[in-house]
Amino acid sequence: MSGTAPDHVSARLERAQAAAREAGVDALVVTPGPDLQYLTGVVKHSHERLSALLLPAEGDPAFVVPTLERPGLDGSAVESMDVLTWTDGVDPHALAASRLGDPRRVAVAADMPALHVLGLRDALPAATLELATPILRQLRMRKDAGEVAALRTAGAAIDDVHAQVPDWLVAGRTEAEVGADITRAIVETGHAEAAFVIVGSGPNGASPHHEVSERVIERGDVVVVDIGGPLPDGYNSDSTRTYVVGEASDEVRDVYAVLQRAQAAAVDAVRPGATAESIDEVARAIIRDAGYGEFFVHRTGHGIGLEVHEEPYIVDGNDLVLEPGMAFSIEPGIYFPGRWGARIEDIVVVTDTGCEPVNRRPHDLLSC
């Protein structure tokens, strides 16, 4: 290298190289996206001009960037590497290939544009291209202390937004109006942006990925509010609470009590050594035994970090053994098509003995 990268960047790059060697991969090529941000701290956007981290399993990393974008790397960890610039009219894929030498297996970032995947394929005809995800996910799933602190900050920020939601959920307002209030508050509480705002009232609450609509919220509606986004450091919040406008019916209270038990039991079951699928089954069994199994239509959780959805996924069939530092949602739901739905979601981080929820808002059915 031409300089010295920050300690955490050097450590991540070295772990990625070790993982590549263990997988029998000769080099990683990582274009802008969450993998690049994780490895180097560099935040960029992919486009038709190639920018990429070239990380050989053995040897020093390099960074390919268009000359016109080179100033944007000033002060970044990339400056400690060999920076290979190129101008329009030059083939950047050939430039990358010349630096990589004669690799046989090259792993590329999952979100690399096809334009660049095909360009590398042509520039490295003797190499097999494959996804870098199986290598990098092992690193990104285990959050370090700094990442856990970032998730705590994100969790507290989105909790502050949920604390204000009852003031906005008023009969006669539309979902879109409430969503606008929430979007503004997400930014005001320190997020870089609102990545998603779901306000599912009445029958819309039975659609887990409903966003907002012009439906007018009515008294008696059950309303699912699922919100989150990245803080300026890139780490995300994601939390769901279920509200009722006015008084809840006996049916709603009974079903919601089942959901509360399922979510709490799943959180309690999180610990090192448990499998991802076993946590899903804890929540699912309680809902199934209560007679609502067919109405729980999605996995129990997803990992979170620099992406809102990343590994590990808390789902049937995933026998991944949980380890300290893994962070994911616990969010069972019950949805009655055409009528109403409910979901409770917290982000938890696996600790040495159990887990730490980063969301602290009450789980009760919240009346507005």
Tell me the pLDDT of the chain (368 aa) as tens digits.
Answer: 444 456 688 999 999 999 999 999 999 999 999 999 999 999 988 889 999 999 999 999 999 999 999 999 999 989 889 999 999 999 999 999 999 999 999 999 999 999 999 999 999 999 999 999 999 999 999 999 999 999 999 999 999 999 999 999 999 999 999 999 999 999 999 999 999 999 999 999 999 999 999 999 999 999 999 999 999 999 999 999 999 999 999 999 999 999 999 999 999 999 999 999 999 999 999 999 999 999 999 999 999 999 999 999 999 999 999 999 999 999 999 999 999 999 999 999 999 999 999 999 999 998 88
Would you call 106 exposed, middle or buried from its count of C-beta atoms within 10 A (0-12, 13-18, 19+)? buried
Cβ 83 vs Cβ 63: under 8 Å = yes
Cis peptide, bond prior to residue 312, ω within 30 of zero: yes
Q: Residue 6 has what pLDDT? A: 67
Cβ 358 vs Cβ 343: under 8 Å = no
Cβ 364 vs Cβ 166: under 8 Å = no
3-state helix, strand, coil in the chain (%, to 5): 40, 25, 40
Give the 3-state secondary structure of 180-243.
HHHHHHHHHCCCCCCCEEEEEEHHHHHCCCCCCCCCECCCCCEEEEEEECECCCCCECCEEEEE
Residue appearing with tokens 């520039």: 123
Q: Which domains does the chain have, with CATH numbers?
A: 7-140 (3.40.350.10), 145-367 (3.90.230.10)
Cβ 110 vs Cβ 137: under 8 Å = no
Instruction: For residue range 99-143, list pLDDT tens digits in order.
Output: 999 999 999 999 999 999 999 999 999 999 999 999 999 999 999
DSSP 106-120: EEE-TT--HHHHHHH
Q: For residue 256, which of 208, 222, 215, 214 has the smallest C-alpha distance?
A: 222
CA distances from 92 to 36, 48, 85, 100, 110 (A): 18, 11, 9, 12, 19
Cβ 118 vs Cβ 324: under 8 Å = no
Amino acid at 183: T
The C-alpha atoms of residue 3 and residue 309 are separated, in whole angstroms, by 34
The C-alpha atoms of residue 300 and residue 328 are separated, in whole angstroms, by 10
The C-alpha atoms of residue 218 and residue 169 are separated, in whole angstroms, by 10
The C-alpha atoms of residue 320 and residue 310 are separated, in whole angstroms, by 14
| Overall residue count recorded for the chain in this entry | 368
Q: Reduced to 3 states, what is the DSSP secondary structure of residue 319?
A: coil
Contacts with 14 (C-beta within 8 Å, 6 or more apart), sequence order: none
pTM: 0.94
Contacts with 344 (C-beta within 8 Å, 6 or more apart), sequence order: 240, 241, 242, 259, 260, 263, 331, 332, 333, 363
Q: Which two tokens stand for residue 317?
A: 């069939």
Give the 3-state secondary structure of 236-267.
ECCEEEEEECCCCCHHHHHHHHHHHHHHHHHH
What contacts 24+ positions apart, CB below 8 Å, involve 103-106?
103/26, 103/27, 103/56, 103/127, 104/26, 104/128, 105/24, 105/25, 105/26, 105/130, 106/25, 106/26, 106/27, 106/28, 106/29, 106/130
